[in-house]
Amino acid sequence: MILLGHNLGGFLAVSYSIKNPGRVKHIILVEPWGFPEFQETVEADRPIPVWIKALGAMFSPFNPLAGLRLVGPLGLTLVQTLRPDFKKKFSSMFSDNTVSEYIYHLNVQTPSGETAFKSMTGSCGWAKRPMLDRLDQLHPDIPISIIYGSRSCIDSISASSIKEMRTNSHVEIITIRGAGHYVYADQPDDFNHKVLQIQVGDVQSNRQHEQRSDLH
């Protein structure tokens, strides 16, 4: 199968492919999380304020979205107020608050995925076990396509690192113009086109391989 993962899903896609290489013929990473090691980005002359450190220590035992569940029915209003972009991103499909309601109800349930993410996350949101440290375990025959949004806050340096590490494997880096972190929602037509191109490329590659096998 072609396995596609966005954000944490990219981390999980590679983890799965390392354990089950025979089931995956192509990995598509969309704005992947958890690949690089922790880097101290705060300059010495710009230390983190004490009050921010105190708040971080205070809320560290809790899941990231615990506050949303804590406020009860007001959570839906909170989502709509803090993330009005959800409605805008999917305006071509929904004219009401369907997406905001979906996000709200999804995150007020028992936080299994959220708890898993918290256990995998170290200081400042970095992965405790960065995927770049394990990438050599991924079978070299599995190609990787990495998709980023040109306006995203996610650093694409990890993609370059993957390409450098897998010199004998196919690694393609794709940038979607005008898209942020939610590439598939910001530029859905371009995103879908790129994914279909990858799929068509895999089909053609398989046919060429079969033809070469027939010749032998």
- On the question of pLDDT at 102 being above 70, the answer is yes
Q: pLDDT by residue (tens digit) across 14-70?
A: 999 999 999 999 999 999 999 998 876 544 444 555 544 444 444 455 566 777 888
- On the question of pLDDT at 135 being above 80, the answer is yes
CATH class held by domain 1-39+134-216: alpha beta
Round to whole Å and give the CA distance between 60 and 108: 19
- Residue spans of the domains in the chain: they are 1-39+134-216, 42-125
Pure H helices in 5-145: 8-19, 50-59, 66-70, 75-82, 85-89, 98-107, 112-120
Which pLDDT score is estimated for 172?
Answer: 96
Round to whole Å and give the CA distance between 103 and 105: 6
Round to whole Å and give the CA distance between 12 and 3: 10
pTM across the whole model:
0.79
Round to whole Å and give the CA distance between 141 and 169: 6
Q: pLDDT by residue (tens digit) across 163-194?
A: 999 999 999 999 999 999 999 999 999 999 99
